[in-house]
A and B are shown apart, each in its own frame.
Chain A
Amino acid sequence: MKNNPLLKKLNLRYLVSLLISIVLAFIIGAGILALSGFSPLKAYGAMLSGAFDSARHVGDFLEYAMVLCICGLACVLGARVGIFNVGGEGQLLLGAIFACQVGIWLDGFSPWIVIPAAALAAMIVGGFYAFIPGVLKVKVKVNEVITTIMLNTIAAYLCQYLAKGPWKNANKNMVAATEQLNAQYWFGNVIPRSSLSTAIFAAAIIAFIVWYVMQKTSRGFEMRLTGQNPRFARFSGIRTDRLVILCMVISGAMCGLVGMFRVYGAEHLYRDSVSRDYYFEALMVAMIAQYKPVTVIFLSLFFAVLKIGAQGMELIGVPSQIYLIIQTVIIFFMAAESGISASLQASAQKRKAKLAAKARQKGDVQHG
């Protein structure tokens, strides 16, 4: 109980700096918009209406929030034990294409068989793809950031090859795409004409489980210990190597599953619009949330609104990438928050000291 006020204070500080960062990022974004000849007010107006003007867009941003949230939690899971899974993009793509292909191979079976099989395939492929850098990190000590990024590019090429070659959709001439899934396997639509599907309920359950395990169980405590002080964790009897690899594999499986959700819920076949660097945006969200699960969930919603809203900006001719700029500026501010406040404090102290010195001098003169 004693800790509570302190905890609140920390959260308050985080919230305030987050709010300031967001406001500043929007101001900088407005500056860039104005410099490139767009009216910032109009553009931000289009962003707002782009996200909220119809039920369809609301559904779209909820679906995107789901993607961000699960991928972001996958990243948090790795970061908690001290391994950065930057390879979620590759895991997602491979999960998506394998899940899709399982649905095509098993065409004709009942959905009760096909959908679990596809989910399993996505999780196995995604998990295996995360297992490689995980083992390399733990057993060989190879920097996981480089390996996962290389694996991302490899996965993207591989999926491109599969969707253009062996698993190609005969009806699509030039584009890389697989066959379409039979309609009986599609996830039901929650909001008509939007890409929001029943997958969001599964995602909510996953998010809850991840949060519960990380925050409320002793395994979650072991994870935090491993991430913060691996030596101490090892000495206190935690098998850190196994835990790190396990977290990495689960993280990869979650990303693979998101790929399956994208295919069965929204796209109904594999093509490159399954993910356009979505995992990297989720990574940014996880970083802004400072790897805290609950914060990830809320920030996912916020950034999903921004993203879908930004697509509305395209209607008035503004490139939607302004969204990426705003998002990264927020990260810059958040990452530098403690540094900036420290240097502000230092300069304030300097000023105070100077003033005090001056006052003292004056005092000396008067007395003298």
Chain B
Amino acid sequence: MTELLGFGREDVDRISNDSESPDWIKEKRATAWQAYENLPMPTLRDEMWKYTDLSTLNIKNTRTTEASKYSAVEKFESFPEEAVKLLSDEAVQLEENGGMCKPGLLIQHDSQVTFTDVEKELTAKGVIFCSMSDAVRNHTDLVRKHFMEKVVPVGEDKFSSLNAALWNGGIFLYVPKGIEIKMPFKSYILMTDGGKALFHHSLIVLEEGAHVTYIEQCRSEDYATDSLNSSVAEVVVKEGASLDYITLQNWGNNVVDISTRKAVVERDASLNWMVGTLGGKVTRSAYETRLIGQGSSTKTRGFFLASDRQHHDFWGLLSHEAPNTTADLLYKGVLTGKSRSVFRGLIKISEVAQLTDSYLTNNNILLSDEARADSVPTLEINANDVKASHGATVGNLDKEEIFYLMSRGLTKSSAEKLIIYGFFRPVLKSIDSEILREHIYGFIDKKLGA
């Protein structure tokens, strides 16, 4: 078998030789590279990769880049028009807010952060929202405690190790004790060409009683050659804090995305994931939540709309490691063309996690003969005083529902669209931002060819 990826030790060295990089980071990169080299590349024989064949991917020639073709700017308006194009909805929003990016906005072109703006008052209160590479230099103590330690330790798996060796993008969000912010922190990762390999590593730490929302979006145009994106995020939600974490992946049709996001949720804290997978060629996204404190909770709402030859592979872990914890995961998808989806979910309840409630649901609609949906919703229960259930369905659009709507004067395609909107509604209604919802609906319309 030929190699899937073409990275070498020299790529690690090149990033490490950046004089501004602290020594402990250089060490971590070296250890991670070693782990990456020692770990076998997952194949279809690995249970967790059973339905996603990496050997067919054509990403061997993707290359990391340190600098973007766009230079960093002070003001959002200073980006060249071409660079703003992907962010038209954000531009509208900024205009409405009189040019203010409250509470914080961070834009990355490829691996370089080209724009950062954080509300001054929040910075004064100790809130940090900056690029990961700035954070390891300027906020060493805060970062070092969590960075690649307990949430996603170095050497955990092949791709997160590669990410740990080669990362140079990503954000750091730190919210001190008791701070509550309604408006979302936002970050964009934009890819500007084909043939690239982007590695982001993000860290989000919420101190006790902090409440924030973070929206992360990936976007790019369609390019001729395939690219690789790898995002790893580590999330720590401390006692009584809550985080809403929204990710929308909307890459062009040439991007292979292999990403992992993991969170540790402490006592009485909560974490809500909102996951949207729209673009990309092959997407593998892992979301793992460990409820380690009594009374902690997590909710996941996810959706995807796959077309053509898109392949979406989702893995969600709800790990109950303390009593009185609750989790609820709902993942809904529509497939057209020759697309394929994989849903794998696991509710894991440890011996100590009594009085736990946990739910896992996956619904899929197949719109074409050649689409395929695989679903593996699993349970591992080691405590008895719990309520746990999961459900999965695969089917097509209800002919009677379409007939009913058509008898009310709708065309077939608009009837179908309406039903699909309804199907996604339980997921999309959890998005507060109207502009973001509109953006998603616009995307769904485009994909359904309406």
Q: Do A and B come from one complex?
A: no
B residues with CB within 8 A of A: none
